[in-house]
Amino acid sequence: MQSRLILANRELSRGLIRLVPALALLGLGACSSSSHGASDPGSDGSGGGRGTLSSGTGATTSSTGSGGSATTGSGGGSLGGDSGIATGAAGAGAGTIGPTPAGTGGVDAGAGAGSTSGGSPGAGGATVSAGADGGVGASPTPSGGSTSATTPIMRGPDPTMASASTAGPYTVKTYTSGYKDEPNFGAATIYYPTDAEAPFGAVAICPGFTATQSSINTWGPFLASHGIVVMTIDTNTTGDSVVQRSTALMDALDCLKSENTRSGGPLMGKLDTGRMGLMGWSMGGGGTWIDANTHPELKTAITLAGHIITAPGGTGAIKTISVPTLMFAGQTDSAILGGGMSQPIYTQIPDSVPKMLYEISGLGHDAGNNPANNSKNVGLYGLSWQKVFLEGDQRYKQFLLVKGPNASDFRTNLK
C-alpha cells in the first residue's frame, strides 16, 4: 500500500511539473477526469466513537462522536482515487496546549455583544443527515436573533480545547440541490446546523487540482456543528486553474447569499451575509489567496497547503490581502504542489492584517484537509480562526496565541 501511494504521489507531481510552464502563461489547468476519493484518516487510539450518519440524497460525510474523532495516526491515512496523495503520519508526541488567558488587543469585535446561553458540547457529537430543515431549537445567540458585522455572535459556554477541537453541540443537515445554479462550479453540498439560532456566518471551500469536494468535506460537518454554514464545491472540471477556482469560490458565496432569500429554503433569513469567508486546498487555496487579495469585504481566508505558482504572477501577485488569513502547510509537502508557497504569502500580507502560518511537522500536502489532523489541532486552530474573525467571538482567541503543537514553522502577528 505504501509503495502504491508513493507512486501515485510521484505521478501527480510529474503531471503538475509538466503543466507548470503552460499554466504559468495561461492561468489555466488541463482538464482531467481523475479525482481523489474521500480521506481515510487513521485512528490515534484516543477513544471516542463516531457520530451517526443518516444517509440521504447527496450526503457523503460523517461526523465525530462521543469524546473524539478520527485523527491521523501513526502511518496516516490516504486519499483514494486515480492519483491519491499519501497522508503523512502525525508526529509522535505532539504537544498539547495548556490553559492560556485570552490576549488583549487584536481585532476589535465591536460593542454590544448580548449575553449568551447555549448547549454545551455533549456526547455523540454532530449528526449529519440529508433532507429538509428539522427546525431551529433553543440555543440563543446575542439578544434579538440577528447581528451585524460589528456585533459578535457568541454561542454556548466558554470554549475549552476539547470543545473547540471536536464536533460541536449542534445537529447538522445537508442538501445538494435547490440552490441557485451558478456557472463557475459544479456540484456542491451545503452543511447547516438545525438547532442553533440564526444568524449564521458562512464559508465556501474549494478542493485542489484533480480533486473533488470529498477531499475536504470533513470541514463541512465540523464547522456546521459549531454554528457556521459551509458550502463545499466541485469545480467544473478537476483540472480547473487557480484563477478558475477563485471565480468558483466567489460564485459559491453568491449562491449562499441567494439562499438567504430563497423562499422555502432551509436557510431563508438565517444568514448574516456580511460574515462570509473562504477556504481552499492546494489550487483551491491559491484561489482563496486571489480572492482575499481582491475582495476586502471577506471576513476570513484559510488555505490548506495553498498552491499559487501556476497562477499569473505567482506568489508575487498576492500583495494586498486585507482579510484575516490562516495558512496551514505540511513540512514534507512537495515544492510543486504547495511546499514553501505559504511563507512568501505570509511575508507579503501587511502586518496590520491578522495572519498566521502553521506548518505541521511530518505532514504533507493534505496536512490541513481534515480538522482531525495533527491530534485535532488543525480543527482547533481552524475553528478558532473562524470564531474570532468570522463571528467576532474573542473567547476563542486564547487558542490562537499559543504556538501550534508539532509545528515546523509557526508565525503569527496576533497578540
Positions annotated as catalytic residues are 282, 333, 365
Tell me the pairing of strands 200-206 and 229-233.
parallel
Distance, CA of 298 to CA of 323 (rounded, Å): 6
Q: Which residues pair with 205 in a beta bridge?
A: 232, 279
Distance, CA of 274 to CA of 153 (rounded, Å): 12
Give 261's contacts (C-beta < 8 A, 6+ positions apart): 268, 269
59: how many CB neighbours lie within 10 A of its CB? 20
Give 290's contacts (C-beta < 8 A, 6+ positions apart): 242, 243, 246, 308, 311, 317, 318
Tell me the pairing of strands 128-130 and 172-175.
parallel
What residue spans of 281-412 are helical by DSSP H? 283-294, 342-348, 377-385, 397-400
Distance, CA of 228 to CA of 384 (rounded, Å): 12
Cα separations (Å) of 95 from 98, 140, 183, 348? 9, 35, 45, 30
Q: What is the DSSP string of 184-247?
A: T---EEEEEESSSPSPEEEEEEE--TT--GGGTTTHHHHHHTTT-EEEEE--SSTT--HHHHHH
Give 93's contacts (C-beta < 8 A, 6+ positions apart): none
What residue spans of 260-330 are helical by DSSP H? 283-294
User: What is the distance, to the nearest Å, from the Cα of residue 108 to the centroid of all Cα atoms in its chain?
Assistant: 23
Rg of the chain taking only CA atoms, in angstroms: 19
Strand ranges in 251-398 using DSSP code E only, listed in sequence order: 271-281, 300-304, 325-330, 355-360
